[in-house]
Amino acid sequence: MIEKLSEEARALALANLPEWTVVAEPDGISRRFTFPDFVAAFGFMTRVAIVAEKADHHPEWSNVYNRLDMLLTTHDAGGLSQRDIDLAQEVEALL
């Protein structure tokens, strides 16, 4: 069973993800992405989907035209875990 991150681990991890915001409910991290158009946004989502499926860790997200809102939380842990941090870092690398 994956565990929620301790306060210390969370502060450390977030220091490396400056574009991400802590969300309280559900306990997780979120980021808004803006692209030139829908094709660019959806292309990015496709690349994230492949990484997410490989990691068996999936974002909660919403897309409107060129905008993508992504929330990472771990359902199995009931909040923010290392899996979310790892996926956020992989997502950043796809930009």
Ligand X SMILES: C[C@H](O)[C@H](O)[C@H]1CNC2=NC(N)=NC(=O)C2=N1
- For 51, the enclosing helix (H) or strand (E) is helix 38-55
Between residue 61 and residue 90, which ones bind ligand X under the rule CB under 6 A? 73-76
* 80, 41 contact by CB (below 8 A): no
Residue 32 engages ligand X in binding (rule: CB under 6 A): no
Cβ at position 42, least distance to ligand X in Å: 20
Tokens of 7: 């306060």
- 8 binds ligand X, rule: CB under 6 A: no
Binding ligand X (rule: CB under 6 A), the pick from 13, 35, 57, 70 is 57
Per CB under 6 A, 56 contacts ligand X: yes
Query: CA-CA distances (angstroms) from residue 80 to 21, 49, 52, 64?
Result: 12, 19, 16, 25
Q: Give the footprint of ligand X on this chain (CB under 6 A).
A: 56-58, 73-76
